[in-house]
Chain A
Amino acid sequence: MSGNYSGTPLLETKSVSKHFGAVQALTRVDFDVFPGEVVALVGDNGAGKSTLIKGIAGIYGFDEGEVLFDGRRVHIHNPRDAAALGIEVVYQDLALADNLDVVANMFLGREWNDGVAPTTGATDSARGAFRLLRNLLPLTEIEMEKRAVSTLNELAVTTLRSVRLPVAALSGGQRQSVAIAKAVLWNSRVVILDEPTAALGVAQTRQVLNLVRRLAERGLGVVVISHNLHDIFEVADRITVLRLGHKVTTFLRKETDQKEVVHAITAGKLGTVPGMSS
């Protein structure tokens, strides 16, 4: 299912720029993602992919330009602001604690405990001593486990033997699935995946790509960063190409081919797709 491009984008950046010292990492980039679609963000190393998503995720702010969420201008100063809007990022290293089980990892930083209404963000309004006391209330493990199991089932993540296994005991694909399920647990609306299939085997890549599609089917806006064009052509509805901090163009997947995308990424320096017979 492709997204509906006539309405308002879920997330949109308008002419955003970012420089680090003398290095101009992003120059007036427009980017958007609609609900229910998967947008791939591609480009060579140093093209500005990471800078763009880190700006959206609130790791740092953009120097200029604006970010719109649901058509409204928003200011994202830190990851909590992003999480409060419903923007979740799954980083390449997944950020899972190996010694904790699947449930504990999915709820890390936002555990439910007695007497506390489930919160949707990592932010807590309570302060000081009250907050410390709240952190000493018993956790409601059963509620958390139910929610974790139902989320995994909704995403049809079916290869887990138990949600009480430590994450260390999971395969790479299962870990990626847990990280993605963690991102959608909080009624998130935009999920950004950084190289979700890097370091995965063939079967596990298939699992994760199916999972990415299911996120879009749930109406989420999905952004995937990847170097793997085969994966991208399998999963993305649109493909946005960055080069040296500029947006080159956005292709509709159905109207393009790998050769054309490679051409855009490399500015025509490579005529063919490496590893593919022409």
Chain B
Amino acid sequence: MSNSTQETESPVQSALLDSTTMQTPQQYIGSYWMRLRSGELGSLPIILGLVLIALIFQSANQNFLTPRNLVNIVVQMAGFAVIGYGMVFVLLLGEIDLSAGYVSAVGGVTTAILLRDSLMNPALSWIDWWNVIPIALAITTAIGFLHGFLITFFQLPSFIVTLAGLLAWNGVVLLIVGDGGTVNIQNPVVRNLASEVLPPIWGWIIIGAFVLLVTLLEVTTARARQKAGLRAKPPTIIVAQFALMSVAGAFIAYLFNINRALNETAPPQAGMPVIAAIMLLLLLLLTFILERTRFGRYVYAVGGNKEAARRAGVNVERIRVLVFMLSGLMAGMGGIVLASRLKSVATDAGGGNLLLYVIAAAVIGGTSLFGGRGKVVSAVLGALVVASVENGMGLLNLSSGIKFIITGLVLLAAVVIDALSRRQQQASGRR
């Protein structure tokens, strides 16, 4: 019965066996092209988008691509990116966290208030930057836990619970900041978090270490896979990627270390912002968690098919609660960064465009609103786009009406690309 069909299957059998041999660079590029065609666009649209943005704003204003302004953009994007890291995890589950903006403000205002009170109240004199930051982060993580608990225990939509959170935490911020309107940050460490730069040599070391680490991981993975007889990335491609990353990394390190003081009499100003190093570190850590651990795998699984994950023994509700806690933690960190940038917290903290920019950053970076698809790095790339557009429009002195319209169009374009690539994947999925 089965003999005849096995014969007809045998030419295809070699296709699977093919996968156990080393790929040639041509094959690798070929399969990358296939993935692109089937709608797995990865970071490609955003890199093209960034080039386009740079060209447009640079042609309109020569100051856009100066080292000084590029560092400004990096500092500007840091808050969006850090809050966006948490948002990526939430979106991967197919959920949303509308409270992230005001939860970040809770983190910022807690830090600012406790630091201010520690100067006036002897009972609080033990408070310093190194213990106030963990306290603030613990509070925002607890808020995330509360949201996650309400969502999973009462089986409520995250949209509604975090919408309630958006209102309630806005209220809390208003109450804490009080009539004064603004709480200034005196503590030098927190105050300079967003503006401090590293000595020039450290920029080279950090970026160099990043490039080497990524390449080392690629090489060891490819070697181990080859040894195990599995399809491995061809060395030519790894070398090409290493070369490309080295050039880009060297260029960025060089940019960071150019003196960006406004005139020659001013004290020299150069170096990689501390905040950029923090962003990079968080990116590595969270990417590891998302792509190399069971927890990360379960986040994707719950976003892809909740029921399948449940039947496979995954504790779906625990994963959801943990992700909302992570979102709270990242919002808290982002809130402290934003507070440090302004060197104060005002009643409007966490409001305005913040939440929309954060969600837009994650989506523009390639994380799907429909769950299951996305990467941590999309928060950084998206935040870079959002901050570049905001910064560029600021340089052009556009009215806020125009700014809103353009930001809206950028977000719309990102969502359309997401929907199109999704449709393409579905069309090519059921061949």
A171 partner residues in chain B, CB cutoff 8 A:
430-431
Instruction: State how many angstroms separate the Cβ of B381 from the closest Cβ of chain A.
Output: 20
Instruction: Determine the distance from Cα of A105 to Cα of B298 in the docked complex, in whole angstroms.
Output: 11
Count of chain B residues with a beta carbon within 8 Å of a chain A beta carbon = 47
Of the residues A80, A132, A146, A164, contact of B228 by C-beta under 8 Å: A146
Of the residues A156, A161, A168, contact of B425 by C-beta under 8 Å: A168
With CB as the reference atom, state the residue of chain B lying closest to A139.
B292
A273 within 8 A of B: no
B426 partner residues in chain A, CB cutoff 8 A:
168
B430 touching A108 by the CB < 8 A rule?
no
A97 touching B295 by the CB < 8 A rule?
no
Stretch at the interface among A2-10, A61-69, A109-117: A109-117
A108 touching B19 by the CB < 8 A rule?
no
Query: Could you mark each residue 126-160 of chain A with 1 if its beta carbon is under 8 Å from any beta carbon of chain B, else 0?
Result: 00000010111111001101100100110011111
B6 touching A95 by the CB < 8 A rule?
no
A50 within 8 A of B: no
A70 within 8 A of B: no
Count of chain A residues with a beta carbon within 8 Å of a chain B beta carbon = 55
B372 touching A149 by the CB < 8 A rule?
no
Instruction: State how many angstroms separate the Cβ of B223 from the closest Cβ of chain A.
Output: 10
With contacts A111-B294, A169-B38 taken as known, whether A158 is within 8 angstroms of B12 at the C-beta atoms is: yes
Residue in A98, A110, A138, A234 with the greatest tally of chain B CB atoms within 10 Å = A98
Per the 8 Å Cβ criterion, residues 34-66 of A in contact with B are none
B313 touching A95 by the CB < 8 A rule?
no
A161 touching B16 by the CB < 8 A rule?
yes
Query: Could you mark each residue 8-25 of chain B with 1 if its beta carbon is under 8 Å from any beta carbon of chain A, else 0?
Result: 011011011001100000
Of the residues B10, B13, B373, contact of A99 by C-beta under 8 Å: B373
With CB as the reference atom, state the residue of chain A lying closest to B428.
A169
A111 touching B297 by the CB < 8 A rule?
yes
Stretch at the interface among B97-105, B201-209, B301-309: B301-309
Of the residues A97, A138, A234, contact of B301 by C-beta under 8 Å: A97
A110 partner residues in chain B, CB cutoff 8 A:
312-313
With contacts A142-B224, A162-B231 taken as known, whether A100 is within 8 angstroms of B15 at the C-beta atoms is: no
A111 partner residues in chain B, CB cutoff 8 A:
294, 297
B312 partner residues in chain A, CB cutoff 8 A:
95, 108-110, 122
Instruction: State how many angstroms separate the Cβ of A240 from the closest Cβ of chain B.
Output: 22
B13 partner residues in chain A, CB cutoff 8 A:
156, 158
A213 within 8 A of B: yes
B300 partner residues in chain A, CB cutoff 8 A:
97, 99-100, 104
Instruction: Determine the distance from Cα of A134 to Cα of B428 in the docked complex, in whole angstroms.
Output: 37
A187 partner residues in chain B, CB cutoff 8 A:
none
Of the residues B293, B303, B309, contact of A109 by C-beta under 8 Å: B309
A156 touching B9 by the CB < 8 A rule?
yes
Residue in B12, B16, B20 with the greatest tally of chain A CB atoms within 10 Å = B16
A75 partner residues in chain B, CB cutoff 8 A:
none
B65 within 8 A of A: no
A206 within 8 A of B: yes
B429 partner residues in chain A, CB cutoff 8 A:
98, 168-170
A79 within 8 A of B: yes
Of the residues A91, A153, A160, A234, contact of B1 by C-beta under 8 Å: A234
A163 within 8 A of B: yes
Q: How many A-B residue pairs have CB under 8 A?
A: 139
Instruction: Determine the distance from Cα of A163 to Cα of B230 in the docked complex, in whole angstroms.
Output: 10
Residue in A79, A109, A132 with the greatest tally of chain B CB atoms within 10 Å = A109
Instruction: Determine the distance from Cα of A98 to Cα of B15 in the docked complex, in whole angstroms.
Output: 22
A239 within 8 A of B: no
A79 touching B311 by the CB < 8 A rule?
yes
Instruction: Determine the distance from Cα of A83 to Cα of B311 in the docked complex, in whole angstroms.
Output: 11
B16 touching A97 by the CB < 8 A rule?
no
Instruction: Determine the distance from Cα of A146 to Cα of B311 in the docked complex, in whole angstroms.
Output: 24
With contacts A99-B303, A161-B15, A168-B426 taken as known, whether A213 is within 8 angstroms of B1 at the C-beta atoms is: yes
Instruction: State how many angstroms separate the Cβ of B95 from the closest Cβ of chain A.
Output: 15
With CB as the reference atom, state the residue of chain A lying closest to B20.
A149
A169 partner residues in chain B, CB cutoff 8 A:
38, 425, 428-429, 431
With contacts A142-B230, A206-B5 taken as known, whether A158 is within 8 angstroms of B15 at the C-beta atoms is: yes
A153 partner residues in chain B, CB cutoff 8 A:
16
A210 within 8 A of B: yes
With contacts A122-B312, A138-B292, A156-B9 taken as known, whether A108 is within 8 angstroms of B301 at the C-beta atoms is: yes
Of the residues B5, B6, B10, B305, contact of A97 by C-beta under 8 Å: B305
Per the 8 Å Cβ criterion, residues 297-351 of B in contact with A are 297-298, 300-301, 303-305, 307-309, 311-314
B68 within 8 A of A: no
A184 partner residues in chain B, CB cutoff 8 A:
none
A234 partner residues in chain B, CB cutoff 8 A:
1
Instruction: State how many angstroms separate the Cβ of B153 from the closest Cβ of chain A.
Output: 19
A91 partner residues in chain B, CB cutoff 8 A:
311
A96 within 8 A of B: yes
With CB as the reference atom, state the residue of chain B lying closest to A171.
B431
With contacts A80-B313, A156-B9 taken as known, whether A99 is within 8 angstroms of B304 at the C-beta atoms is: yes
Residue in B10, B224, B308, B429 with the greatest tally of chain A CB atoms within 10 Å = B308
Query: Could you mark each residue 60-94 of chain A with 1 if its beta carbon is under 8 Å from any beta carbon of chain B, else 0?
Result: 00000000000000000001100100000001011
Instruction: Determine the distance from Cα of A153 to Cα of B15 in the docked complex, in whole angstroms.
Output: 12
With CB as the reference atom, state the residue of chain A lying closest to B292.
A138
Per the 8 Å Cβ criterion, residues 105-150 of B in contact with A are none
* Subset of 24 A-B contacts with CB under 8 Å: A80-B313, A83-B313, A93-B307, A95-B307, A98-B429, A100-B300, A104-B297, A113-B293, A135-B294, A138-B288, A138-B292, A139-B294, A143-B228, A145-B230, A149-B19, A158-B10, A161-B19, A162-B16, A162-B19, A168-B425, A168-B426, A169-B431, A171-B430, A210-B1
Binding site for A on B (CB under 8 A): 1-2, 5-6, 9-10, 12-13, 15-16, 19-20, 38, 224-225, 228-231, 288-289, 292-295, 297-298, 300-301, 303-305, 307-309, 311-314, 372-373, 425-426, 428-431
**Further contacts, 9 of them, CB under 8 A, given A122-B312, A136-B289:** A79-B313, A98-B304, A105-B308, A109-B314, A113-B294, A138-B288, A149-B20, A162-B16, A207-B9
Identify the 9 closest CB pairs spanning chains A and B, nearest first: A122-B313, A109-B312, A97-B304, A99-B304, A99-B372, A158-B13, A109-B313, A95-B308, A108-B312
